[in-house]
């Protein structure tokens, strides 16, 4: 695959991209770095933090989880787009992306250490905010490399490996935390160490773009980094809305999955991480099949839009089945179907969005705007979940939460239909 990435033909119709020729280890280390960040972030949010909050404040665990996720999400939204812009115009000798990959990983690991040592909920919130801020900077730079270094003719396949990395992270995270000793230092420390090692690896081999001419940056240009005009760029806006809705849909389920298993399906707290790992393992197994298949089909045929809207509908159907289930078996069947749809979606969606970016958008800035479509749900989902879970007097209303997730996925499918410039 590296020969595809580094190949630059002299044909007049050849695709042009800004990247330099990369060494052979770049691609696997690139994917591993993305996986490392996903493992640290997802395992903390979906497993380790819920477990800690269950210990520290069991009576208010869902509210505290919502607050923690929301405040961490605020920091992510505030810093990602400006950092993307600063990365685009950086004149650092190390390159435009490497300092943010390494620096963000170090800050993220520090935040995970705070989480591991936190004796109360306030420090859990502070540690998660620090971890989110650091790993958001790293993710921004890694996503920008997708546009910098990967030609569009293979971008769906590479994006598919990113999707697989994100998909396997909660599975391995749940399994890892379940297998480790019952000590938060292990729960948070080992995923953080994996993320740091992985990102140091890609920094060491990356031949980064080096900008020599300074570009003036002021607060107005940083504010503009949050914005791509949806009226002038309607196709991009519709694709962005689809991604936002699909992320809301899945995040609503994944964030509260551990509590759903214990409170709705009656699984004992000590067995919940193992059950969660099984459910997510099934989700991932079906995701893998369609991710690899449809990433290849999309690159071979050039089809993006059809795959995205149909996979979004399939995800909605799977979540609906999970909503109606009363035991772990039927719940897992629904999640498997959702995983089938989600695999096809993630293999094509990012590639489609990068191809719909305005020509004027720098990679870091454009990818930062794309990142908002899956970062804003970290604010939207906790606020929405707090309201939905509070409906009625019989405890957390998971039926209302799952119904909202089904509706969001269905609306995500509809959002793709108006797109015109991608087949």
Question: What's the pLDDT at 423?
Answer: 73
Q: Where are the alpha helices (DSSP H) in 357-397?
A: 363-375, 377-389
Q: Where are the beta strands (DSSP E) in 124-245?
A: none
Q: Which residues of 272-287 are buried (b: 16+ CB within 10 A; e: fewer)?
A: bbebbbbbbbbbbbbb
> pLDDT grade, residue 105 (50/70/90)?
very high
Q: Are 353 and 239 in contact (CB under 8 A)?
A: yes
Most confident of the following: 179-183, 296-300, 378-382, 387-391: 387-391
Alpha carbons 70 and 76: distance in angstroms, whole number: 10
Neighbours of 106 (CB within 10 A): 15
Give 268's DSSP letter: -
Terminal alpha carbon distance of the chain:
25
Q: Look up the pTM and report it.
A: 0.68
Q: Where are the alpha helices (DSSP H) in 219-271?
A: 219-224, 234-255, 257-263
pLDDT tens digits for 402-420?
A: 899 999 999 999 999 999 8
> pLDDT grade, residue 18 (50/70/90)?
low
Residue 270 CA, chain-centre distance (Å), reads 28
H/E segment holding residue 412 = helix 398-416
| DSSP secondary structure string for all residues of 138-161 | HHHHHHHHHHHH--GGGHHHHHHH
Neighbours of 325 (CB within 10 A): 18
Q: What are phi and psi for residue 271, nearest 5 degrees?
A: -95, -10
Most confident of the following: 133-142, 157-166, 168-177: 133-142
The full 3-state SS of 62-83, as one line of letters, equals HHHHHHHHHHHHHHHHHHHHHH
Question: What's the pLDDT at 109?
Answer: 96
Alpha carbons 155 and 170: distance in angstroms, whole number: 24
C-alpha dihedral, 99 to 100 to 106 to 107, nearest 10°: 140
| Token pair belonging to 289 | 């099949």
Q: What are phi and psi for residue 419, nearest 5 degrees?
A: -65, 135
Alpha carbons 111 and 105: distance in angstroms, whole number: 10
Residue 245 CA, chain-centre distance (Å), reads 13
Question: What's the pLDDT at 19?
Answer: 53
| Token pair belonging to 311 | 């996979």
Residue 7: pLDDT over 50: no
Neighbours of 260 (CB within 10 A): 22
């Amino acid at each position: 695959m590296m020969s595809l990435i580094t190949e630059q033909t002299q044909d007049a119709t050849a695709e042009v991209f800004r990247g330099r020729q990369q060494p052979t280890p770049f691609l696997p280390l690139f994917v591993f770095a993305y996986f490392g960040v996903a493992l640290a972030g997802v395992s903390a949010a979906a497993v380790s933090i819920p477990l800690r909050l269950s210990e520290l404040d069991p009576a208010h665990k869902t509210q505290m989880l919502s607050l923690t996720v929301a405040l961490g999400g605020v920091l992510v939204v505030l810093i990602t787009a400006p950092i993307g812009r600063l990365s685009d115009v950086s004149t650092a000798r190390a390159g435009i992306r490497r300092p943010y990959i390494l620096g963000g990983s170090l800050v993220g690991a520090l935040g995970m250490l705070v989480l591991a040592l936190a004796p109360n909920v306030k420090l859990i919130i502070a540690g998660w905010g620090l971890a989110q801020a650091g790993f958001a900077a790293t993710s921004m730079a890694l996503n920008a490399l997708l546009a910098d270094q990967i030609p569009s003719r293979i971008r769906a396949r590479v994006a598919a490996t990113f999707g697989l990395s994100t998909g396997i992270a909660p599975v391995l995270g749940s399994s890892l935390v379940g297998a480790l000793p019952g000590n938060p230092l292990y729960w948070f420390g080992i995923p953080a160490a994996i993320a740091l090692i992985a990102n140091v690896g890609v920094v060491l081999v990356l031949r980064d773009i080096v900008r020599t001419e300074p570009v003036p940056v002021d607060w107005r240009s940083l504010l503009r980094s949050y914005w791509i005009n949806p009226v002038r760029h309607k196709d991009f806006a519709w694709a962005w809305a689809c991604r936002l809705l699909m992320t809301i849909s899945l995040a609503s389920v994944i964030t509260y999955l551990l509590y759903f298993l214990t409170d709705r399906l009656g699984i004992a707290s000590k067995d919940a991480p193992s059950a969660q790992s099984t459910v997510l393992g099934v989700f991932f197994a079906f995701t893998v099949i369609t991710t690899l298949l449809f990433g290849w089909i999309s690159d071979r045929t050039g089809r993006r839009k059809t795959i995205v809207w149909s996979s979004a509908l399939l995800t909605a159907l799977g979540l609906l089945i999970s909503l109606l289930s009363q035991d772990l078996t039927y719940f897992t069947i629904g999640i498997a179907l959702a995983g089938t749809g989600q695999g096809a979606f993630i293999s094509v969606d990012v590639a489609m969005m990068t191809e719909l970016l305005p020509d004027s958008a720098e990679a870091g800035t454009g990818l930062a705007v794309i990142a908002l479509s899956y970062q804003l749900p970290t604010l939207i989902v906790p606020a929405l979940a707090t309201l939905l879970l509070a409906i009625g007097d019989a405890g957390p209303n998971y039926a209302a939460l799952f119904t909202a997730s089904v509706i969001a996925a269905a609306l995500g499918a509809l959002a793709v239909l108006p797109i015109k410039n991608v087949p």
